[in-house]
Structure 1
Amino acid sequence: ANLLSIKKEKVTQYLPGFPTGQQYQSALFWADKIASLSHEDPQDIYWLAQCLYLTSQYHRASHALRSRKLDKLYGACQYLAARCHYAAKEFQQALDILDMEEPTSKKLLDRSVKEENRIQESDWEMTPASINSSICLLRGKIYDAMDNRPLATSSYKEALKLDVYCFEAFDLLTSHHMLTAQEGEARARLGTETDLRGLSNQKIRYNKPSDMVVPEMVNGLQDNLDVVVSLAERHYYNCDFKMCYKLTSMVMVKDPFHANCLPVHIGTLVELSKANELFYLSHRLVDLYPNNPVSWFAVGCYYLMVGHKNEHARRYLSKATTLERTYGPAWIAYGHSFAVESEHDQAMAAYFTAAQLMKGCHLPMLYIGLEYGLTNNSKLAERFFSQALSIAPEDPFVMHEVAVVAFQNGDWKTAEKLFLDAMDKIKAIGNEVTVDKWEPLLNNLGHVCRKLKKYVQALEYHRQALVLIPQHASTYSAIGYVHSLMGDFESAIDYFHTALGLKRDDTFSVTMLGHCIEMYIGDTDAYIGKTSYIGKMTSFATHAKTDLRQSFVDAFRVQIVCPLLRHSLTSTKLPLKATSAQELFIGSFIKWVSVAEQPHTQA
């Protein structure tokens, strides 16, 4: 007996729960001997199965437990047996072990056997709550592998309910965007533990711009890498890419392959056009982690960023989705690779797949709506924008696109209100709008104010847009157009000349410049008085309708992110004249798009 005790102690020091372990073959040797010496005591068989599992002998481990029916007697054994089949990718068999139902008489017999052995669930170094939570977590992973997302979501939520410290379940729910309105419920569950509330809030996915403040309840964790990554994500979602890059670079120095940091860092490199750095990172990831989808996602992002390599990008993004079919960012980027080439149907197919996998993320709906808008299907575009708005009601990018639809429907007042609401959301996190990503919003506010004949305000918004992107030809054209409507043809001519200096093939500016010069040097007496002038300009708009049917394309680079990045940003440019320009720009992975304007009659 004394020898048996010594040998057991010898085995336990090699088992994985101990810092001095990791010698699994040695542990397996001694576990096998102890099981024989103890006449196959259930706990010793359990440790033997653990050692077999750790040495990747999954079927032997399962057989050691199931041949002795320990999986039907003890929750820990049931969990380990199912985990063996899950590791062997035998998902249905693993699910059968977890869901097997025994007759009542059999349960009573098993209970008496356990009482005879005098082994309680607490003797397995796992509490009953922890065992049940682990079983629910494993069941969720199995359903996830079988593409049954609703049951996977329910299992993860049940695991979190059974054990509030089961962070893996919470992380899977949030990182895979499985929660929508229920996300508040999960957060409330974690919120019952005050020391967890701050940490859980850091993991809640983006749905609006927010301040980057570390809660007091996690005081002392400001330098923790997970907390720093969460702060970097907030900066990323708020389009402060330089600060995000500073934080992610700091994390990458301390932990070069931090799993949560990599998608954000990749997205930031794309937004800042750091092609060389992304090239180096993607090659390191592929060399070291060829079976990790984020490695091939990085390669795909690189080829999307350099331009004219969309076929290569699709090849590597497809590999990422093959390794992990539920990897939403890769599906979104895959859709972007088609959208860049105006392959709307194929882009929407990828976005629809992403929407099915990421039910709690508004980005796929937003991109589907944008593609429908680009194909002149405003009704379906409005429907998908509304769905995106229901998921993220305070996201200024979604509000912006809904406002664009209202503008195209001629509802100027609603469009103005939505644009201003989006502006308020942005200003809520800072004093001024200083990020160039918001330039289309300012220009579109100028367009809608022009429609409402608020010419002074329209000029102010366009000038603010010039501050963000000074060399933008379409903004100069818009300012010139407003000046022409105000009768200030001299200023209008100056701005149209500036626009043509930046973009010589700007059809709208060429046409407007000619008409403004004619009005400026012509018989000015005919234009004295507001009524006479507006009548002339209305006549011009009617005359110009035929000449201005060509697209007024504002070719500037536009980008995306995901959630992860996990976040993509979009923007649609409103029409300046007799045609409508819609432009995407993204902040959640990688997209540069130049989009032709859609026909739209200028009032």
Structure 2
Amino acid sequence: MTSSSRANSNMEKFLRDWRQDAMNKAQYDSAIYIGDKLLAMTRDDNDAFFLAQVHFAAGNYTRAHALLAKHGLITSRNASCRYLAAHCLIKQGLFGEALGLLGEYSVVHLFGGNQSHNGPKRKTREGGEGEGREGTAHRKYEAAMCFLRGLCYAKQNAFDRAKEAYKDALRIDVQCYEAFSQLVKNNLMSPDEEDEFMQSLDFGSLTTRDDKGGEPDEEAGDYVHMLYQTQLSKYRHPMAFNTAIESLTTHYGLEGNADIMLARADQLYTQCRFRDALAVTEGILEGDKYNFGVYPIHLACLYELRKTNVLFLIAHELADNYPEEPASWLAVGIYYFATGKIAEARRYFSKASMMDANFGPAWIGFAHTFAAEGEHDQAVTAYSTAARLFTGTHLPQVFLGMQNHAMNNMTAAEEFLKTGYGLCRSDPLLLNEMGIVCYHQDRAREAAAFFREALKVAEETESDSTAWLGARTNLGHAYRRLKMWEEALGEFDAVLREGGKDAGVFAAKGLIYLDLGQAGRAVEVLHEALGIWPQDPVATELLGKALEMSMETGLGLGGEQGLEELERFEEVIEQRKRAARERVARRGRGGGSVDKGKGVAGRGGGTMRRGMGRGQGPWAAGDIDMSDEE
């Protein structure tokens, strides 16, 4: 080597070290300046690719793409160059051009694991590298290109193709977390699909070796599998989820990790344990209040617990300091929704959805605003959009069923609920709604089966028992219609023990006692019902029947003594009515009450579980209203 060659070699090393040092310090202008001089000196494709990467990191997407094109790297057979070029196009919003560069097919010969594909047929893209040239880096870039292909399809609203592209990315490289995140974050897979897909992934390919080069250890694969397990649907396999959480926290020290804590909060929220979930999300935000992924569940819990003052403070702070974040406007929308300002809530939910078209909480909140105002047609349209965007979750189908039920369109309601049931068979809310539809179609035995299943699932998942009092009440009504009097009374008594006094439940008990010919006991429980809600029309009518039956049968209310007893009874009722009116006047009956109508309690809005709504707010598990049938 001549002295001139040695000098150039030394200078190239010096410039590369300088360039790398600038990159490490995020001094992109320095890295670009030095990288340009190095490229002029070497004219090496590797230096050109590195300089394009620096431009990309600095946000110079057009320059990065132009540099790759100038050096002929876009048309090269190198997967990393094609990936970077396509990524530049996506950052510029040129999704069609990016897809043209990426191609429409995945390289199936790179798939690992036990694969069985039911999606569209794939083939090896022309010009792809052969088996002999494959390596770890090539495989990872091919997986990354599948991920980019999925982003392009999603932007074109081809969600089925996007889902398959994301799945292909993981089939090629199980460590492509970006693709996995898109699948679970956007609810593209049903719980059954998640199970099947997880079993097909090649976690066994992830191994580690000790420093002495011993046998490969598959612990890494188990670790990644557990991490992914925590991100899956919380409606299925609670034991597997708890096992993964325990192992990650006990053996790997992740007890304080925000993602693990958020997964736990997500599970608690699906179980309607809102206070517990809120405690977890508050812990996350204390450590990192800029973790915007926590806010949908955090805000939902605050709504469920009616903490409007806290909602106001959070919404105000986020809107002032982070107006570019969709979660900020979601917070504003939920606050307005919680305070009954539906039009304002709709405007801010819409704003959040326009900032991020895949932000599920905003879409569902937007739909709930129409439902809260009884605008069923608009609500159906909005929920249908959510169902199209988030094909793997059952909740939009549940809300569509609720809306059709509210419009007394039972056939359509049942179809939507059946579709939801096909996606998820273990959500008590869905099971309860299916039972209500069956009940109003005079299929009381089927209704009772659904109500029992809802309560069984809620118990197995350790859900908050008070959240499912509606399902237990409905089961009592189903037993009543089936003339299973003792079973019905048992369910109603359980509701009263767990949920306190409820006028509707006392009225239902009164009806049962009338059916059993026990007018005296009917008068007693109907007295309790009217003491809670003096204007209850059902209890008032039943009380008249009970008193009439008592006088006719002489069950302690006949003759002069009966008339005196009746007068005293009516006087007590009037006193309770006056006291109730005074209580109502003091606190306002409208706020926070549950509207029991057409079988579902309140057709109002919802909060977000992975962007979807549920809970014990105004869209909670519905109650059967006896006024619909008697």
TM-score interval, normalised by the smaller of the two chains: 0.7 to 0.9
Q: Determine the C-alpha separation between the residues in 2 that align with 1:551 and 1:412.
A: 18
Q: For residue 155 of structure 1, what is the amino acid of its counterpart?
A: A
Q: Determine the C-alpha separation between the residues in 2 that align with 1:402 and 1:262.
A: 31
Q: Is the 8 A contact 2:186 2:360 kept in 1?
A: yes
How big is each residue's C-alpha offset from its partner over 1:491-512, in whole Å with a ceiling of 9 and x where there is no partner?
2222222222222221111111
Q: Determine the C-alpha separation between the residues in 2 that align with 1:524 and 1:452.
A: 29
Alpha-carbon shift at residue 86 of structure 1 (Å): 1.1
Alpha-carbon shift at residue 557 of structure 1 (Å): 10
From 572, 575, 578, the equivalent of 2:625 is 575
Q: Is the 8 A contact 1:190 1:197 kept in 2?
A: no
What's 1:58 paired with?
61
Where in structure 2 are the equivalents of 1:50-449 lying within 5 Å? 50-73=53-76, 74-99=78-103, 127-180=137-190, 181-188=192-199, 189=201, 192=204, 193-208=221-236, 210=238, 213-215=242-244, 217-218=247-248, 219-220=251-252, 221-307=254-340, 309-430=341-462, 434-449=464-479
Q: Is the 8 A contact 1:441 1:571 kept in 2?
A: yes
Count of aligned residue pairs for this structure pair? 533
Q: Is the 8 A contact 2:601 2:622 kept in 1?
A: no
What's 2:565 paired with?
none
Residue 412 and residue 86 in structure 1: after superposition, are their counterparts in 2 closer, same or farther (change >3 A)? same
What's 2:502 paired with?
472
Q: Determine the C-alpha separation between the residues in 2 that align with 1:11 and 1:84.
A: 22
How big is each residue's C-alpha offset from its partner over 1:393-420, in whole Å with a ceiling of 9 and x where there is no partner?
1222211111122212222222222211
Alpha-carbon shift at residue 129 of structure 1 (Å): 0.9
Where in structure 2 are the equivalents of 1:29-44 lying within 5 Å? 29-38=33-42, 40-44=43-47
What's 1:25 paired with?
29
- Aligned to 1:13, the other structure's residue is in SS state helix
Q: Is the 8 A contact 1:348 1:371 kept in 2?
A: yes
Give the percent of matched residue pairs that are identical in Structure 1 and Structure 2: 29
Alpha-carbon shift at residue 429 of structure 1 (Å): 3.0
Q: Is the 8 A contact 1:362 1:391 kept in 2?
A: yes
Alpha-carbon shift at residue 147 of structure 1 (Å): 1.8
Alpha-carbon shift at residue 206 of structure 1 (Å): 3.1
Q: Determine the C-alpha separation between the residues in 2 that align with 1:560 and 1:257.
A: 24
2:16 maps to 1:8: yes
Residue 383 and residue 347 in structure 1: after superposition, are their counterparts in 2 closer, same or farther (change >3 A)? same
Residue 204 and residue 232 in structure 1: after superposition, are their counterparts in 2 closer, same or farther (change >3 A)? same
Q: Determine the C-alpha separation between the residues in 1 that align with 2:386 and 2:67.
A: 41
Q: Is the 8 A contact 2:359 2:611 kept in 1?
A: no
How big is each residue's C-alpha offset from its partner over 1:208-238, in whole Å with a ceiling of 9 and x where there is no partner?
5835724254232232211111111111101
Q: For residue 416 of structure 2, what is the amino acid of its counterpart?
A: F
- Aligned to 2:500, the other structure's residue is in SS state coil
- Aligned to 2:93, the other structure's residue is in SS state coil
What's 1:564 paired with?
610
Q: Which runs of 5+ in 2 are unaligned?
A: 1-7, 106-125, 205-220, 558-595
Alpha-carbon shift at residue 375 of structure 1 (Å): 0.8
How big is each residue's C-alpha offset from its partner over 1:411-470, in whole Å with a ceiling of 9 and x where there is no partner?
22222222112211112134xx75322111111111111112221221121121123331
How big is each residue's C-alpha offset from its partner over 1:89-131, in whole Å with a ceiling of 9 and x where there is no partner?
1222222222299xxxxx99x99xxxxxxxx997xxx701111
Q: Determine the C-alpha separation between the residues in 2 that align with 1:283 and 1:187.
A: 41
Residue 191 and residue 518 in structure 1: after superposition, are their counterparts in 2 closer, same or farther (change >3 A)? farther
Q: For residue 213 of structure 1, what is the amino acid of its counterpart?
A: N
Alpha-carbon shift at residue 168 of structure 1 (Å): 1.3
- Aligned to 1:522, the other structure's residue is in SS state helix
What's 1:530 paired with?
none
- Aligned to 1:563, the other structure's residue is in SS state coil
Residue 190 and residue 262 in structure 1: after superposition, are their counterparts in 2 closer, same or farther (change >3 A)? farther
Residue 8 and residue 97 in structure 1: after superposition, are their counterparts in 2 closer, same or farther (change >3 A)? same
Q: Is the 8 A contact 2:153 2:159 kept in 1?
A: yes
Q: Which runs of 5+ in 1 are unaligned?
A: 102-106, 112-119, 528-549, 581-599
Q: For residue 289 of structure 1, what is the amino acid of its counterpart?
A: Y
2:490 maps to 1:460: yes
Alpha-carbon shift at residue 47 of structure 1 (Å): 1.4
RMSD of the TM alignment (CA)?
A: 2.6
Residue 86 and residue 306 in structure 1: after superposition, are their counterparts in 2 closer, same or farther (change >3 A)? same
Residue 100 and residue 352 in structure 1: after superposition, are their counterparts in 2 closer, same or farther (change >3 A)? closer
Q: For residue 287 of structure 1, what is the amino acid of its counterpart?
A: D
- Aligned to 1:72, the other structure's residue is in SS state coil
Q: Is the 8 A contact 2:151 2:162 kept in 1?
A: yes
Q: Determine the C-alpha separation between the residues in 2 that align with 1:158 and 1:256.
A: 35
Q: Determine the C-alpha separation between the residues in 2 that align with 1:208 and 1:352.
A: 24
- Aligned to 2:260, the other structure's residue is in SS state helix
Q: Is the 8 A contact 1:214 1:222 kept in 2?
A: no
Q: Is the 8 A contact 1:263 1:566 kept in 2?
A: no
How big is each residue's C-alpha offset from its partner over 1:556-589, in whole Å with a ceiling of 9 and x where there is no partner?
897633222444244221232xx33xxxxxxxxx
Q: Is the 8 A contact 2:368 2:604 kept in 1?
A: no
Q: Determine the C-alpha separation between the residues in 2 that align with 1:174 and 1:247.
A: 21
- Aligned to 1:47, the other structure's residue is in SS state helix
Q: Is the 8 A contact 2:606 2:614 kept in 1?
A: yes
Q: Determine the C-alpha separation between the residues in 1 that align with 2:91 and 2:134.
A: 24
Q: For residue 187 of structure 1, what is the amino acid of its counterpart?
A: M
Q: For residue 275 of structure 2, what is the amino acid of its counterpart?
A: K
Q: Is the 8 A contact 1:273 1:305 kept in 2?
A: yes
How big is each residue's C-alpha offset from its partner over 1:133-163, in whole Å with a ceiling of 9 and x where there is no partner?
1111111112212222122111111111111
Residue 100 and residue 4 in structure 1: after superposition, are their counterparts in 2 closer, same or farther (change >3 A)? farther
What's 2:569 paired with?
none
Residue 434 and residue 132 in structure 1: after superposition, are their counterparts in 2 closer, same or farther (change >3 A)? closer
Residue 397 and residue 408 in structure 1: after superposition, are their counterparts in 2 closer, same or farther (change >3 A)? same
Residue 361 and residue 553 in structure 1: after superposition, are their counterparts in 2 closer, same or farther (change >3 A)? closer
